[in-house]
Structure 1
Amino acid sequence: MNSWAGVAAALVSVASLLPLAFIMGVTIQTGWATATAMIFRPRVGELLANTVLLVLLTVPICIVLAVALAWLTERTDLPGARIWAWFAVTPLAVPAFVQSYAWVSLVPNIHGLEAGVLISVLAYFPFLYLPVAATMRRLDPALEEAAAALGDPPTTIFRRVMLPQLRLALLGGSLLVGLHLLAEYGLFAMIRFDTFTTAIVEQFQSTFNGPAANMLAGVLVVFCLGLIGIEAGLRGRARYARVGSGAAIQPRPVRLGWATLPCLMLPVAVSALALGVPALTLGRWLAAGGLDVWRLDAIGRSLGQTLVLAIGGALLATLSAIPMAWIAIRRPGPIQRLLEGCNYVVGSLPGVVIALALVTVTVRVALPLYQTLITILVAYALMFLPRALVSLRASISQAPVELEQAAASLGRSPASAFWSVTLRLAAPGAAASMALVSLGIFNELPAAQMLAPNGTRTLAMAFWALSGELDYASAAPYALIMVVVSLPLTWLLHVQSRRSAGR
């Protein structure tokens, strides 16, 4: 198992570095003097400040919001907790640029850092809520009861017992949110908030200045490496699995009492902002457009093409992530963490940079693969590998290694023990990985425009083209279908998350 997993993880990691190699190659061709002039200029400082502030403000707010919602829906007697838990996952069905489109339509003058933080939190907090809620459901209540028996108050129990066990989920989810903030384009372009990604795309679209855009992408990679280093350092080598099932009892829900109504306002407000605003905006534009905006033949083609790309890309990304997720948990070390970091680097790059890297490779080395289904699926696997890796890593970490060892002692090969024992226990994580990747592909735009075979027009491509022409009414059906088709995927994430804890 060690040998084939290591080889497979190394190959995937090398492939993940392809866009980075592309950026480095352009930098070398540009020359140090020119590259320095492009990087050390006021515009880059402005973009760096915007991006740093965006991450520093958005990620902590997402953490607090996700932990609060997870605690309310999993550990208290909050009325309708199961419904609010589902509503906390549902924003994943609304593409980030559709969230932005909804807010811009409702509040035309919304723009800048404050708007970016608000919409980013509403779009991305479920990436933290899902792993945090799933981990809370799996915690052994005996540990909290023991702390309570020793006289610790609830706040101390939460800080000293529960919060340390949430560390892996919090760090993985925070890294995922941070990488999305670094790579997001459509959300920030609509509210006119400049980040490295919007500047890179504008460079390619307006002047086709490849070197300047790639210098910006190089700074973005350094930013990503910083996030990965922080996450790896904070994660440490702590163990999060247990062999037994823990206490047989379910944790007693905390009685909110007089605080029920104030606590209920949090999920109500979040649902209204994250789901109510897009629903209101789409309903208004659909009513204004009437039946004329429902061009069923064009919509049907876009839907079919999007589903093919989403399913194929999700399967490829999840299979590619399995070896790396296994060695990251079972064989942690400097080399393994270096390989794992390679998979996250590509997640911080905008899709247009990854697409250009693959365009260069296919045109120069493998021309028959240019603008084929294979190339676009490889691009999606590279772009969304972090989504698959985070979910799989968290699931494998909770599958006790002793079960693998027991299967091996009964005569099974290490590979057979992994596939029959560990992977079965991690199946909810694999399903969640595929759902997360599929959601990302539904929302992806730049790579599809550059790499998809001729004649391809995904739902996101059609929506962006129409909204760019300010034809919001005609764009609304495509946005609605993206949301409706994504809802079953978010439901799968929700169900698998609960099933992983036997509930």
Structure 2
Amino acid sequence: MSMTLPAAAVFVPRGKRPSIWVVLPVLFLVGLSLLPLLYVGMKTWEAGWREALHLLWRPFVWGLMRNTLALMAGVTVACALIGLSLAWLLERCDLPGRRLWGVILCLPFAMPAFVSGFTWVSLSPRFEGLGGAILVMSLSKYPLVFLPVAATLRNLDTSLEESARTLGQNRWGVFFRITLPLLWPSILGGSLLIALHMLVEFGALSILGLQTFTTAIYQQFELEFSNANAAMLSAVLLVMCLSMLWLELKVRGSGRHVRIGQGVARRAAPLTMGALMPVGQLYCLLLAVLGSGIPLAMLAYWLKVGSSAAFPVADITRALLTSLSVSLGGAGLSLLLALPVSLLVVRYRGHLAIWAERLPYLLHALPGLVIALTLVFFALHYVPALYQTTGLLLLAYALLFLPLAQAPVRTALTKAAPQLEEAARTLGASPFSAFCRVTLPIIFPALAAAFALVFLDAMKELTATLLLSPTGMTTLATEVWAHTANVEFAAAAPYAALLVLVSGLPVYILTTRMYLNRA
């Protein structure tokens, strides 16, 4: 006999309090997440409101604002148009080879943005500046819109569109009245994520020579040693990021698209392109060449030039091993912190659980540069022994990538019924032992996925690594940035190639499974 219990009865144990090993990490993370706000507030208070306004009310700051907003708007709109058009072309049209195109057109997602910037700048200095930055970043980020929109189109119930056609709507009317509203959550979600990335992007924009808030903050701190200026610019950037976060939550929660009834699980008949077939093929070919063809070709060229001149195997190996070690450590720490946060959110109530639920969104909105500056300040003033240690860098990674780790862990925990742990406890097991022996094996695949996601992003992390890494430590990302800043393109190529290889393999496997193995 089976019985379906209400969600609250399954996932929210009444009358029970979370264990101390769940509460302490959550309190630790809540405190850390508030440190950037405290840091910016302290610096503003020390400078005084008059000095703060003097630092902010300058043509220099308005120029940064103009560049940042222009970049954000240009890249977001371009990515939304490219992602929507590609998703429609590959999911709803009879384009030959569309499954293979789906794999090829996702390859830019595997290349870190600062690597793409390095390849384009090494091709010609004309790609420096705002126009080049919009081009390069759009070609790097459009998969963030393309992938969710394509997945939505693939799973969309076609009966709604067919009903509209029977009521006299033509194809354009069906698209604008029925299909597009159903795609809006995916389009807006991906677009707002891209906009947030543009606000906090540093490496690619530094290489492309575009001054934004992130590059200016780094220069103020690292080159001019001005904590006050850096803090004031961080305050503006923080307000912009939190505004984008509020907009994302507002858009995501403002409406729901639901149906009464389950509908029929079948795919829409592909639209015949006819004379437009060559245009569609040319469009995909152009995006493939610009998005991955030219960057990979330039990378191969500089790799060949560098190999013929000098190939420092020892330095490359050292940077690779350092990147692997700190990325593995950051992924492990992120997972250890994400697990208690997810447990508290899924299984318990109270104000702390609410804070823990909002925590990933707050951390997601904080630029890596602001987190790094905050950790530098508090380490120097309160824990000097922690400054310029690997531990401080791993802590920054955990703060930056906690949302990536928590999402799959939380989803898996919602499917692991706590009654299984209760049964183990009736047999004499302690709460911690019951969790480790019963629930942990159930959620292990999600833990592995979360670990892989954080590891891949940590391999490409640049801003926090530049500010927090111990003296003499080099990673693949920092070596690419340092050599490119000195216009040493051939020297940067081996490090960039290794980054692309490490990042490209899981992306290739994911897209291959999505398109080539699809029924």
Which residue does the alignment assign to 2:107? 90
1:468 to 485, 491, 515: 485
Kindly indicate whether residue 64 of structure 2 is the aligned counterpart of residue 59 of structure 1: no
Q: Does the 8 Å contact 1:435/1:492 carry over to 2? A: no
Superposed, 1:137-156 pairs within 5 Å as 137-156=154-173
Deviation digits for residues 413-437 of structure 1, max 9, x if unmatched? 9x999x999x989978x87765554
Q: Could you say if the C-alpha distance between residues 79 and 271 of structure 1 is closer, same or farther in structure 2, counting changes exceeding 3 Å? A: same
Q: Does the 8 Å contact 1:17/1:342 carry over to 2? A: no
Superposed, 1:160-309 pairs within 5 Å as 160-236=177-253, 238-239=255-256, 246-309=263-326
1:31 to 38, 48, 66: 48
Judge which range, 351-360 or 83-92, deviates more. 351-360
Partner SS for 1:73 = helix
Query: What letter corresponds to residue 118 of structure 1 in structure 2?
Result: L
Q: Does the 8 Å contact 2:479/2:492 carry over to 1? A: yes
Deviation digits for residues 281-320 of structure 1, max 9, x if unmatched? 1222223233443222221221122123334434544675
Query: In the aligned structure 2, how far is the partner of 1:468 from the partner of 1:112?
Result: 15
Q: Could you say if the C-alpha distance between residues 344 and 257 of structure 1 is closer, same or farther in structure 2, counting changes exceeding 3 Å? A: same
Query: What letter corresponds to residue 137 of structure 2 in structure 1?
Result: S
Q: Could you say if the C-alpha distance between residues 412 and 366 of structure 1 is closer, same or farther in structure 2, counting changes exceeding 3 Å? A: same
Q: Could you say if the C-alpha distance between residues 152 and 45 of structure 1 is closer, same or farther in structure 2, counting changes exceeding 3 Å? A: same
Q: Could you say if the C-alpha distance between residues 150 and 309 of structure 1 is closer, same or farther in structure 2, counting changes exceeding 3 Å? A: farther
Q: Does the 8 Å contact 1:130/1:494 carry over to 2? A: no
Partner SS for 1:109 = helix
Gaps of 5+ in 1: none
Kindly indicate whether residue 117 of structure 2 is the aligned counterpart of residue 100 of structure 1: yes
Which residue does the alignment assign to 1:72? 89
Superposed, 1:249-398 pairs within 5 Å as 249-317=266-334, 343-385=360-402
* CA RMSD of superposed structures (Å): 4.0
Q: Could you say if the C-alpha distance between residues 468 and 56 of structure 1 is closer, same or farther in structure 2, counting changes exceeding 3 Å? A: closer
Q: Does the 8 Å contact 1:62/1:124 carry over to 2? A: yes
Report the alpha carbon displacement of residue 77 of structure 1 after superposing the two structures with TM.
2.0
Work out the number of aligned pairs and report it: 491
Deviation digits for residues 140-178 of structure 1, max 9, x if unmatched? 333333433444333333333333333333333223211
2:503 to 486, 492, 496: 486
Query: In the aligned structure 2, how far is the partner of 1:159 from the partner of 1:323?
Result: 44
Q: Could you say if the C-alpha distance between residues 255 and 181 of structure 1 is closer, same or farther in structure 2, counting changes exceeding 3 Å? A: same
Query: In the aligned structure 2, how far is the partner of 1:332 from the partner of 1:258?
Result: 60
Report the alpha carbon displacement of residue 245 of structure 1 after superposing the two structures with TM.
7.0
Q: Could you say if the C-alpha distance between residues 13 and 159 of structure 1 is closer, same or farther in structure 2, counting changes exceeding 3 Å? A: farther
Q: Does the 8 Å contact 2:242/2:365 carry over to 1? A: no
Judge which range, 64-73 or 370-379, deviates more. 370-379
Query: What letter corresponds to residue 58 of structure 1 in structure 2?
Result: V
Q: Could you say if the C-alpha distance between residues 408 and 424 of structure 1 is closer, same or farther in structure 2, counting changes exceeding 3 Å? A: closer
Q: Does the 8 Å contact 1:466/1:475 carry over to 2? A: yes
Q: Does the 8 Å contact 1:176/1:387 carry over to 2? A: no
Percent of residue pairs identical? 36
Judge which range, 351-360 or 268-277, deviates more. 351-360
Query: What letter corresponds to residue 174 of structure 2 in structure 1?
Result: I
Normalised to the residue count of structure 2, the TM-score between the two structures is 0.81
Query: What letter corresponds to residue 236 of structure 1 in structure 2?
Result: G
Deviation digits for residues 450-472 of structure 1, max 9, x if unmatched? 32345531101122222222221
Deviation digits for residues 207-261 of structure 1, max 9, x if unmatched? 1101101100100111112212222222225456889975243332222222221
Query: In the aligned structure 2, how far is the partner of 1:169 from the partner of 1:309?
Result: 33
Which residue does the alignment assign to 1:120? 137
Which residue does the alignment assign to 1:47? 64
Query: In the aligned structure 2, how far is the partner of 1:312 from the partner of 1:438?
Result: 9
Normalised to the residue count of structure 1, the TM-score between the two structures is 0.83
Query: In the aligned structure 2, how far is the partner of 1:253 from the partner of 1:4?
Result: 52
Query: In the aligned structure 2, how far is the partner of 1:150 from the partner of 1:420?
Result: 54
Kindly indicate whether residue 467 of structure 2 is the aligned counterpart of residue 450 of structure 1: yes
Which residue does the alignment assign to 1:157? 174
Q: Does the 8 Å contact 1:77/1:253 carry over to 2? A: yes
Judge which range, 64-73 or 218-227, deviates more. 64-73
Q: Could you say if the C-alpha distance between residues 282 and 444 of structure 1 is closer, same or farther in structure 2, counting changes exceeding 3 Å? A: same
Q: Could you say if the C-alpha distance between residues 164 and 293 of structure 1 is closer, same or farther in structure 2, counting changes exceeding 3 Å? A: farther
Query: What letter corresponds to residue 134 of structure 2 in structure 1?
Result: V
Greater Rg over alpha carbons, structure: 2
Q: Does the 8 Å contact 1:431/1:496 carry over to 2? A: no
Query: In the aligned structure 2, how far is the partner of 1:52 from the partner of 1:225?
Result: 15
Query: In the aligned structure 2, how far is the partner of 1:239 from the partner of 1:448?
Result: 40
Q: Could you say if the C-alpha distance between residues 54 and 221 of structure 1 is closer, same or farther in structure 2, counting changes exceeding 3 Å? A: same
Judge which range, 278-287 or 323-332, deviates more. 323-332
Which residue does the alignment assign to 1:109? 126
Report the alpha carbon displacement of residue 278 of structure 1 after superposing the two structures with TM.
1.1
Report the alpha carbon displacement of residue 412 of structure 1 after superposing the two structures with TM.
8.1
